[in-house]
Structure 1
Amino acid sequence: MEQKNHRLLQCALEIMKYISKQPKGVSFKEICTITDLPKSSVHNLVQTMCNMNFLQKKENYNEYRIGLQCFEVGNAYLSTNPFYSVAKDIVENVSIRCNQTTHFGILNGHDTIYLYKFDSNQPLRIVSHTGKRIPAHATAIGKALLSGLSKAELDELYRNYKLEAITEHTITSLDELEKQIEEVRKTHIAYEAEESSPYVRCIAVPICNRIGNVIAALSVSFPIYQNTLNADTFKQVLFDAKRQLEAALLTLDM
């Protein structure tokens, strides 16, 4: 019985993770394909998740999307994280000083997850949002996060993993990715040019805890046509923010 309940919980979490990546919703038939449970068990599980507002059934369709309870649980992660409260103000300040979009994120497997995004007043907007997941190899913020891994850890992470191209400029060679990450380790700054979004450049810095482990990263994104002098200014602002964030970490129990 205990093993059965464990399996049901695992399936429920897998369903939520899968549906969270499908903005248009998922059919019941598709949900059945991602579990190895009998159809009747999946139906009961999905119904329970809907009753508890973890899933929401689309009216007049046999399709499901993430429910409001998932938002509440996810928001609790940020509201109970003391570092996020400090980082939020600093990320906003970087955006204001640079008049560009800023992102603050963490590494999760092969991906970067944006914990916070602050938009600028620039006409060219970055298509992203808080909670978005994007391949780490395709972004400056991802490369900054990956710089916290050793070469052996990086090789293990990307073993049997294909580096997919998001744009024609995305790095798809592990050797090239490792070369760039090694440079990030030396300089503490990462770069990207149209690797995740056309016409957009990005600069990022890793954020380290008191023992030197990379736990987050902060980036500034800006149009490709802006000159090098602006990029140099952005780097200085990022390094200032890095010092502030790492100083704040010394005062927190993290």
Structure 2
Amino acid sequence: MEQKNHRLLQCALEILQYIAKQPKGVSFKEICTITDLPKSSTHNLVQTMCNMNFLQKKENYNEYRIGLNCFEVGNAYLSTNPFYSTAKEIVENVSMRCNQTSHFGILNGHDTVYLYKFDSNQPLRIASHTGKRIPAHATAIGKALLSGFTNNELLELYKDYVMEPMTSHTITSLDELAAQIEEVRRTQTAYESEESSPYVRCIAVPIHNRMGKVIAAISVSFPIYRADLDTAPFLDALFDAKRQLESALLALDI
């Protein structure tokens, strides 16, 4: 039997999700367009979330952004996850071994969600952060996560989804994505070149639990202008991290 959501609570959460994706803030008028509630009901929801510090109203502007309590609740997800603290250490080690930026992420729907990022001291800075969502088809880490799907599951996931380009290099063909995912399954390695960010390449590996299910992935990002860069040490670091993370999952029985 299908479970119905509480209408007002669903609207409140949808408002939070929408505002979280708009770094410059959102007007009340814009908030009203994403709900099917009367304006007075939307105002009451927004005001309640402001009073509880889940939203913050910008001074002298009728604009809203995410409040501090959202950070505290989101951070609790990580702090109560025993696998996260282990993964965080390992991601940092990969970054230091490679002297490049590393990411750790999971799949949510069609998106990669970054649970952790560790920056290198390289001058190139990648526009990503913990909690950021990015389309899985446009990233190496996303392709690593998608490698846990069968071909039929992949087709089902993307059958009504438009694969929007993030750059001129982004894959927008499901056939091409499926071919790359097949290669990731074979090699346990995913690649991306300027598909999500200009001048950035990326290598990623999937992380499997004891049942063989892909539950996370780890990546290394590096500048494309270093054509002479030897990426073999990056692969060594990533596969060492993969072994460590999968061993930790066995110990934690996750």
- Which bracket does the TM-score occupy, shorter chain normalised? over 0.9
Q: Which amino acid aligns with 1:207?
A: I
Shift of 1:225: 2.9
> How has the CA–CA distance of structure 1 residues 4 and 52 changed in structure 2, closer, same or farther, with 3 Å as cutoff?
farther
Matches within 5 A, 1:201-212: 201-212=201-212
Asked if 1:233 is matched to 2:233, the reply is yes
The Cα shift of 1:148 comes to 0.5
Look up the equivalent residue of 2:108 and give its one-letter code.
N
Please give the secondary structure, in 2, of the residue aligned with 1:251: helix
Query: Following TM superposition, by how much is the alpha carbon of 1:198 offset from its aligned partner in structure 2, in angstroms?
Result: 1.2
Provide the residue aligned with 1:67 in structure 2.
Answer: 67
d(CA) in 2 for partners of 1:105, 1:91: 11
TM-score by length of 1: 0.96
CA distance in 2 between counterparts of 1:157 and 1:101 reads 29
Tell me the distance in 1 between the aligned counterparts of 2:4 and 2:40.
15
- Structure 1 runs of 4+ aligned residues shifted over 3 Å read none
Matching residue's letter, 2:49: M
- How far is the alpha carbon of 1:228 from its aligned partner? 6.0
Alpha-carbon separation, structure 1, partners of 2:17 and 2:226: 38
Identify the residue that residue 100 of structure 2 maps to in structure 1: 100
Q: Which residue of 1 aligns with 2:222?
A: 222
What pairs up with 1:169-184 in 2 under 5 angstroms?
169-184=169-184
Unaligned 5+ runs, structure 2: none
CA root-mean-square deviation: 1.5
Q: Which amino acid aligns with 1:51?
A: N
Partner deviation per Cα, 1:157-181 (whole Å, 9 max, x = no partner): 1112111111111111110000000
Q: Does the Cα contact within 8 Å between 2:210 and 2:253 map onto a contact in 1?
A: no
1:138 paired with 2:138, answer yes
Partner of 2:36 in structure 1? 36
Residue 232 of structure 1: how far off its partner (Å): 1.2
Q: Deviations over 1:92-130 (max 9, x none)?
A: 000000000000000011110100000001111111111
Structure 1 residue ranges without an equivalent (≥5): none
Matched residues in 2 for 1:239 and 1:4: separation?
43
Give the whole-Å Cα distance in 1 for the aligned partners of 2:12 and 2:125: 35
Paired position in structure 2 for 1:123? 123
Percent identity of equivalent pairs = 82
